[in-house]
Amino acid sequence: MLNVVVEIGCDFTELLRQHQAMVFSIALHFLRDRATAEEVAQEVFFSLHRNLHQIETPLHAAAWLRKVAVQRAIDEGRRRSRKPQLALEDVAEPAAAAVKPSDPLLSELLRKLIATLPEAPRMVMVLRYQEDLDPSEIAAALEMPVATVKSHLQRSLVLLRGKLARRGIGESGWTG
Protein backbone atom coordinates (compact mmCIF):
# COMPACT_ATOMS: atom_id res chain seq x y z
CA MET A 1 0.00 0.00 0.00
CA LEU A 2 1.33 3.42 -0.95
CA ASN A 3 2.69 5.21 2.08
CA VAL A 4 4.49 8.45 1.33
CA VAL A 5 6.08 9.92 4.41
CA VAL A 6 7.31 13.49 4.26
CA GLU A 7 10.02 14.61 6.65
CA ILE A 8 7.57 16.49 8.89
CA GLY A 9 5.44 13.35 9.29
CA CYS A 10 2.42 14.07 7.09
CA ASP A 11 1.55 10.56 6.02
CA PHE A 12 -0.62 10.57 2.89
CA THR A 13 -2.53 7.46 3.82
CA GLU A 14 -3.34 8.85 7.24
CA LEU A 15 -4.45 12.19 5.76
CA LEU A 16 -6.67 10.30 3.33
CA ARG A 17 -8.25 8.31 6.14
CA GLN A 18 -8.79 11.36 8.33
CA HIS A 19 -10.22 13.72 5.75
CA GLN A 20 -12.01 11.63 3.12
CA ALA A 21 -15.42 12.25 4.71
CA MET A 22 -14.87 16.01 4.83
CA VAL A 23 -13.73 16.26 1.22
CA PHE A 24 -16.41 13.94 -0.11
CA SER A 25 -19.15 15.69 1.85
CA ILE A 26 -18.17 19.17 0.66
CA ALA A 27 -18.43 17.96 -2.92
CA LEU A 28 -21.64 16.01 -2.26
CA HIS A 29 -23.52 18.79 -0.49
CA PHE A 30 -22.47 21.30 -3.12
CA LEU A 31 -23.04 19.16 -6.20
CA ARG A 32 -25.83 16.85 -5.02
CA ASP A 33 -24.49 13.92 -7.01
CA ARG A 34 -22.63 11.05 -5.34
CA ALA A 35 -20.73 9.82 -8.39
CA THR A 36 -19.54 13.29 -9.30
CA ALA A 37 -18.71 14.02 -5.69
CA GLU A 38 -16.49 10.95 -5.55
CA GLU A 39 -14.70 11.96 -8.74
CA VAL A 40 -14.07 15.41 -7.34
CA ALA A 41 -12.91 13.99 -4.02
CA GLN A 42 -10.49 11.64 -5.77
CA GLU A 43 -9.04 14.55 -7.72
CA VAL A 44 -8.56 16.50 -4.51
CA PHE A 45 -6.60 13.70 -2.86
CA PHE A 46 -4.62 13.08 -5.97
CA SER A 47 -3.71 16.75 -5.97
CA LEU A 48 -2.63 16.36 -2.34
CA HIS A 49 -0.45 13.42 -3.36
CA ARG A 50 1.29 15.55 -5.98
CA ASN A 51 1.74 18.49 -3.61
CA LEU A 52 2.49 16.67 -0.36
CA HIS A 53 5.91 18.30 -0.21
CA GLN A 54 4.19 21.67 0.29
CA ILE A 55 2.26 20.55 3.37
CA GLU A 56 3.83 21.81 6.55
CA THR A 57 1.69 20.30 9.31
CA PRO A 58 -1.37 18.08 9.67
CA LEU A 59 -3.42 21.21 10.44
CA HIS A 60 -2.16 22.80 7.27
CA ALA A 61 -3.17 19.65 5.40
CA ALA A 62 -6.76 19.90 6.65
CA ALA A 63 -7.06 23.55 5.60
CA TRP A 64 -5.39 22.81 2.28
CA LEU A 65 -7.75 19.93 1.54
CA ARG A 66 -10.79 21.97 2.47
CA LYS A 67 -9.75 24.83 0.20
CA VAL A 68 -8.97 22.59 -2.76
CA ALA A 69 -12.20 20.64 -2.26
CA VAL A 70 -14.13 23.90 -2.35
CA GLN A 71 -12.38 25.05 -5.52
CA ARG A 72 -12.81 21.74 -7.33
CA ALA A 73 -16.46 21.46 -6.34
CA ILE A 74 -17.16 24.97 -7.58
CA ASP A 75 -15.30 24.28 -10.83
CA GLU A 76 -17.28 21.10 -11.37
CA GLY A 77 -20.50 22.92 -10.59
CA ARG A 78 -19.71 25.48 -13.25
CA ARG A 79 -19.01 22.74 -15.79
CA ARG A 80 -22.38 21.21 -15.04
CA SER A 81 -24.24 24.51 -14.94
CA ARG A 82 -25.17 24.20 -18.60
CA LYS A 83 -27.32 21.23 -17.79
CA PRO A 84 -30.88 22.02 -16.72
CA GLN A 85 -31.06 22.00 -12.97
CA LEU A 86 -33.94 20.87 -10.84
CA ALA A 87 -36.32 23.75 -10.34
CA LEU A 88 -37.39 24.38 -6.79
CA GLU A 89 -41.00 23.82 -7.83
CA ASP A 90 -40.08 20.28 -8.85
CA VAL A 91 -38.60 19.43 -5.49
CA ALA A 92 -40.64 16.76 -3.80
CA GLU A 93 -41.77 18.08 -0.48
CA PRO A 94 -42.85 16.36 2.65
CA ALA A 95 -46.39 16.98 3.75
CA ALA A 96 -46.22 19.75 6.32
CA ALA A 97 -48.16 17.78 8.87
CA ALA A 98 -45.71 14.92 8.57
CA VAL A 99 -42.62 16.98 9.25
CA LYS A 100 -41.15 16.88 12.68
CA PRO A 101 -37.91 18.20 14.07
CA SER A 102 -34.97 16.06 13.03
CA ASP A 103 -37.10 14.52 10.28
CA PRO A 104 -35.02 12.95 7.50
CA LEU A 105 -37.54 14.35 5.03
CA LEU A 106 -36.85 17.85 6.30
CA SER A 107 -33.12 17.25 6.00
CA GLU A 108 -33.56 16.12 2.42
CA LEU A 109 -35.74 19.16 1.66
CA LEU A 110 -33.15 21.48 3.14
CA ARG A 111 -30.39 19.88 1.07
CA LYS A 112 -32.44 20.35 -2.07
CA LEU A 113 -33.26 23.95 -1.19
CA ILE A 114 -29.60 24.68 -0.59
CA ALA A 115 -28.79 23.15 -3.97
CA THR A 116 -30.97 25.81 -5.60
CA LEU A 117 -28.92 28.63 -4.11
CA PRO A 118 -26.39 30.41 -6.29
CA GLU A 119 -22.84 29.10 -6.15
CA ALA A 120 -21.34 31.45 -3.58
CA PRO A 121 -24.06 31.37 -0.90
CA ARG A 122 -24.44 27.63 -1.44
CA MET A 123 -20.80 26.98 -0.59
CA VAL A 124 -20.97 29.44 2.31
CA MET A 125 -23.85 27.43 3.76
CA VAL A 126 -21.99 24.14 3.29
CA LEU A 127 -18.88 25.44 5.03
CA ARG A 128 -20.93 27.00 7.83
CA TYR A 129 -23.19 24.07 8.64
CA GLN A 130 -21.12 21.09 7.54
CA GLU A 131 -17.71 22.28 8.69
CA ASP A 132 -18.89 24.65 11.42
CA LEU A 133 -16.53 27.35 10.18
CA ASP A 134 -17.00 30.90 11.38
CA PRO A 135 -17.39 33.69 8.83
CA SER A 136 -13.71 34.68 8.92
CA GLU A 137 -12.66 31.07 8.22
CA ILE A 138 -15.19 30.82 5.41
CA ALA A 139 -13.92 34.10 3.98
CA ALA A 140 -10.37 32.74 3.95
CA ALA A 141 -11.43 29.48 2.29
CA LEU A 142 -13.45 31.25 -0.39
CA GLU A 143 -11.17 34.28 -0.72
CA MET A 144 -14.04 36.70 -0.25
CA PRO A 145 -14.64 39.51 2.24
CA VAL A 146 -16.05 38.56 5.63
CA ALA A 147 -18.91 41.00 5.12
CA THR A 148 -19.87 39.17 1.94
CA VAL A 149 -19.88 35.85 3.78
CA LYS A 150 -22.11 37.23 6.49
CA SER A 151 -24.45 38.69 3.89
CA HIS A 152 -24.71 35.35 2.10
CA LEU A 153 -25.44 33.58 5.37
CA GLN A 154 -28.09 36.03 6.46
CA ARG A 155 -29.87 36.18 3.12
CA SER A 156 -29.78 32.41 2.66
CA LEU A 157 -31.31 31.82 6.07
CA VAL A 158 -34.05 34.36 5.38
CA LEU A 159 -34.72 32.73 2.02
CA LEU A 160 -34.87 29.25 3.50
CA ARG A 161 -37.16 30.31 6.32
CA GLY A 162 -39.51 31.88 3.82
CA LYS A 163 -39.60 28.82 1.59
CA LEU A 164 -40.19 26.54 4.50
CA ALA A 165 -42.86 28.80 5.95
CA ARG A 166 -44.76 28.79 2.65
CA ARG A 167 -44.82 25.04 2.94
CA GLY A 168 -46.12 25.22 6.42
CA ILE A 169 -42.83 24.17 7.94
CA GLY A 170 -41.47 26.14 10.80
CA GLU A 171 -40.72 26.30 14.44
CA SER A 172 -44.29 27.05 15.50
CA GLY A 173 -45.88 23.65 15.75
CA TRP A 174 -44.28 22.25 12.62
CA THR A 175 -47.58 22.18 10.87
CA GLY A 176 -47.68 25.75 9.58
Partner 1 sequence: MDWLEDELRRALARQDAPVGFAERVLARGRREPHGARRWLAAAAMVVVAAGAAGAWRQHQGYEAKREMMLALRLAAAPMHRIQLEVKDITQ
Query: CA–CA distance from 54 to each of 6, 44, 89 (Å)?
Result: 10, 15, 46
Q: Which of 20, 71, 116, 151 binds partner 1 (CB under 8 A)?
A: 20
Strand, helix or coil at 5? Answer: strand
Q: How far is the CB of 161 from partner 1 (least distance, A)?
A: 6
Interaction pattern, residues 24-63, with partner 1; x per rule: CB under 8 A: xx--xx----x---x--xx--xx--xxxxx----------
Query: CA–CA distance from 36 to each of 53, 75, 114, 141, 145 (Å)?
Result: 27, 12, 18, 21, 29
Q: How far is the CB of 51 from partner 1 (least distance, A)?
A: 6
102: contact with partner 1 by CB under 8 A: yes
Report the alpha-carbon distance of residue 52 to residue 64 in Å, rounded. 10
Identity of the residue, 1 or 84, whose beta carbon is nearer to partner 1 in the bound complex: 1
